Structure 1
Amino acid sequence: MPRIDGCDAYRVAMPRGRRPESVLVRLAGGDAVGWGEMAVSDRSDGRPWADLEERMGPALIGLDWERPEDVSAAADLGAREAAAAIDTACWDLWCRTRGLPLAHALGGTRTSIVTGARISPEAALDTIAGRVNQAVGAGHTRVTLDIRPGWDIEPVRTIRQAYPALALIADAGHAYTESPEHLTVLEGLDSYGLAAIERPFPAGDLAAHARLQLRVSAAVAPAVGDLETLDAALSLEAGRALHLRLERLGGLTAARSAHDLAYAAGWDVWCSGSGVFGIGQAAAVALAALPGCTLPSEVSDPAGGPVFVTPPVRSSGGVVGVPLTQPGLGHEIDEERIERLATRRMRLST
């Protein structure tokens, strides 16, 4: 039975640009190591790091385990973002120990992933058109546009007129209600052939999502943070699409189960990675190789930035290859550079 001998964590900021940060988790067992990543958001209150240092990390040290699912009790001791990083590292370690590609271990059947891109709100419609043009030129076949009340119909119309066949998702970020004004807007968006309307209402209001699904032909994609919520959404018919966010679900183990449930129900599924150091994106590539991931996924690092994993997780013509000849995540991690750039470290060992 394998054991986890060491648990390290690094808080690392990109050396240039906007300097986004991630916490990277490294688990050691035997002769192998596994890695996980969680993004550090502006709203982070330090809880995920504290959970790693005080509860989750100590619970892992010396733990005997047969499969990554056996570590769920330790992962449940803290924030879901930290749990996602630990769960991913467990899968990477387990696969590297056995010489298995992560995608195959999860049940993936694809050799490559078709990619999509996300477009944040902009102040001018011509800026939106330019950014979508850039995404399409890079080969992305699906675009998600962040919308909000007052910034919805016009940008969607602009994109649809320029790209009639582009798969388009409108992410409302929970900003709408069932007021007549908002429902009129959401129904108006439906006339532009959207692939999905994501997170239109507050996360807990699945009944509202179900009522909207009856009014629109686009798939509604409620926010799902756990399997219980997904079960409820399926029962209520509160949508027809699922966005698998590793950090929100707590890692690959829960995300794979969520995929299986949504796939069995006939829902469309797409994935996105977290963080900018390549580890979170590599995990999302393996997840997106599952057969039910029917929509293009956001699984590639931005081109032109520093590279921390080799080969980099990059889209070429809108496609990312699934690593199937190397074990685990399928990428080598630049541990020396991570160590050098870390602003905070945690080291636990037997």
Structure 2
Amino acid sequence: MRICRVDYYQVKLPFKKAVQTSYGKLTAKYADILVLVNEDGQIGIGELTALPHPDYVEEYLLGERQILQHYLLPWLLAKEWVTLDAFCLEMTKIRGHLMAKAAIEMALFDLAAKLAEKSVAAYLPNAQPSLAVGISLGIEPDLAKLMDQVDQAIAQGYQRIKLKIKPGYDYQALAQIRQAYPEVCLMADANSAYQSQAASLKALDELSLAMIEQPLAVDDFVAHAKLQAQLKTPICLDENVRSLADLQTIVALGSAQVINLKLPRVGGLLAAKKMLNFCQQHDLKVWMGGMYETGVGRAFHLHFAAQTCFDFPTDLASFDHYFVEDIVTKPMQLHAGKISVPTGLGIGVVLDKQKVNKYCYAKQSFKSKK
């Protein structure tokens, strides 16, 4: 596999409504789109989906962009690579920066599958043609407006509701949703907003939540283990989960009963497959989250999330929950509570050149010297 050129687009997709979490407000999705071109003109598409600031995890868009442009892309363009796995092994020379690695791995998988005349689904066992999805709702102080959003989501067929919470915004909002919808799969996502407020979190036990996601500090496995011992509600870890070693720590300490698996955060599909196998072997429930991806990253995630081993509906909502327009020709939409996995070769999407140009604010091309 020889890559001769990489076209690199920096895009900004405005959100229809600002996303409010415990660590800040997002008004647009910034993403970098990688288009790898081989010597025969065939392309592979990937997405760097890191967030703009290092407040979710320490990796953020500008930093991961530098790793890609100064290290990973020059390595990729320097020579012919026998296999995708060979280049992925080369990337291990860089410590961390899993989101940059995941972006380039995505594009390589797309290209490799196209060259083999396969879908990415061919690399994954027990993949379904469509999958149930849930929706993530941000912090909305006006509970009447929140319930309007919940009502709309339920009417559209979403099969799980996730609500962002923080100290002072938790029990009342969740209780109102639970009262209106006693049977819905309901969970809370704290994004590490709590310190040691075990009492306020324990009050959530009576709401029959599917899980409380990442209540305490990132990397604090011990505190989460102590909290889980006090709660009936399962704790789900998100930001804490970067590697197989993290899963081993979670199991050893009892830090959580569920994990949220995100391909960018763990370094891509190959790492995620190993982690998913570990979860199955150790009775650790797992579901798949998202990072407000464009249609490129969303397609790759849908292929992975379509495996039958996941325990809860994925967090990959219809594109029009977040955006007015997407940058692929056939944006993924909700139908009867499910989203279809893109068909066709590779990840199954085609860039809409007009939309890419509309939302692109910077473009570069990197070429092989040979």
Q: TM-score, normalised by structure 2?
A: 0.86
Equivalent residue letter for 1:56: L
**Taking structure 1 as reference, are residues 90 and 108 closer, same or farther at Cα in structure 2, changes over 3 Å only?**
farther
Asked if residue 121 in structure 1 is aligned to residue 139 in structure 2, the reply is yes
Asked if residue 49 in structure 1 is aligned to residue 65 in structure 2, the reply is yes
Taking the TM superposition and a 5 Å limit, the aligned residue runs for 1:97-108 are 97-108=115-126
Shift of 1:315: 1.4
Q: Distance in 2 between matches of 1:97 and 1:39?
A: 25
> In the comparison of the two structures, how many residue pairs are matched?
345
Q: Distance in 2 between matches of 1:253 and 1:339?
A: 31
Q: Residues 287-319 of structure 1, C-alpha deviation per residue, up to 9 Å, x if partnerless? A: 101232121012234326223223211111210
Asked if residue 185 in structure 1 is aligned to residue 204 in structure 2, the reply is no
Q: Residues 79-119 of structure 1, C-alpha deviation per residue, up to 9 Å, x if partnerless? A: 32222211111111111111111123133422211000001
Equivalent residue letter for 2:65: W
- Partner residue, 1:22: 31
Asked if residue 39 in structure 1 is aligned to residue 49 in structure 2, the reply is yes
Q: Residues 186-238 of structure 1, C-alpha deviation per residue, up to 9 Å, x if partnerless? A: 11112111111110111211122222222223221123122221221122221
User: Which of 63, 88, 99 pairs up with 1:72?
Assistant: 88
- Partner residue, 2:273: 256
User: Which of 116, 121, 129 pairs up with 1:111?
Assistant: 129
Q: Residues 255-297 of structure 1, C-alpha deviation per residue, up to 9 Å, x if partnerless? A: 2222221122222222133344201111110110123212101
RMSD between aligned alpha carbons? 2.1
- Partner residue, 1:310: 329
Contact 1:141 1:167 in 2 (8 A): yes
**Taking structure 1 as reference, are residues 200 and 227 closer, same or farther at Cα in structure 2, changes over 3 Å only?**
same
- Partner residue, 2:211: 196
Structure 2 spans left out of the alignment, 5+ residues: 17-26, 54-59
Contact 1:273 1:280 in 2 (8 A): no
Q: Distance in 2 between matches of 1:254 and 1:230?
A: 12
- Partner residue, 2:105: 87
SS in 2 for 1:61: helix
Q: Distance in 2 between matches of 1:65 and 1:25?
A: 18
Shift of 1:66: 4.5
Q: TM-score, normalised by structure 1?
A: 0.91
**Taking structure 1 as reference, are residues 150 and 226 closer, same or farther at Cα in structure 2, changes over 3 Å only?**
same
**Taking structure 1 as reference, are residues 246 and 45 closer, same or farther at Cα in structure 2, changes over 3 Å only?**
closer
Contact 1:278 1:301 in 2 (8 A): no
Aligned-pair identity in percent equals 27
**Taking structure 1 as reference, are residues 66 and 265 closer, same or farther at Cα in structure 2, changes over 3 Å only?**
farther
Contact 1:20 1:40 in 2 (8 A): no
**Taking structure 1 as reference, are residues 134 and 67 closer, same or farther at Cα in structure 2, changes over 3 Å only?**
farther
Contact 2:50 2:64 in 1 (8 A): no
Deviates more, 1:242-251 or 1:59-68: 59-68
Shift of 1:15: 6.9
User: Which of 211, 229, 232 pairs up with 2:246?
Assistant: 229
Q: Distance in 2 between matches of 1:226 and 1:265?
A: 15
Deviates more, 1:275-284 or 1:103-112: 103-112
SS in 1 for 2:33: strand
Deviates more, 1:267-276 or 1:52-61: 267-276
Equivalent residue letter for 2:213: E
Contact 1:33 1:93 in 2 (8 A): yes
Q: Distance in 2 between matches of 1:75 and 1:278?
A: 25
Q: Distance in 2 between matches of 1:105 and 1:6?
A: 25
Shift of 1:45: 6.4
**Taking structure 1 as reference, are residues 75 and 341 closer, same or farther at Cα in structure 2, changes over 3 Å only?**
farther
Equivalent residue letter for 1:272: G
User: Which of 225, 246, 265 pairs up with 1:210?
Assistant: 225
Equivalent residue letter for 2:309: G
**Taking structure 1 as reference, are residues 154 and 21 closer, same or farther at Cα in structure 2, changes over 3 Å only?**
same
Asked if residue 158 in structure 1 is aligned to residue 160 in structure 2, the reply is no
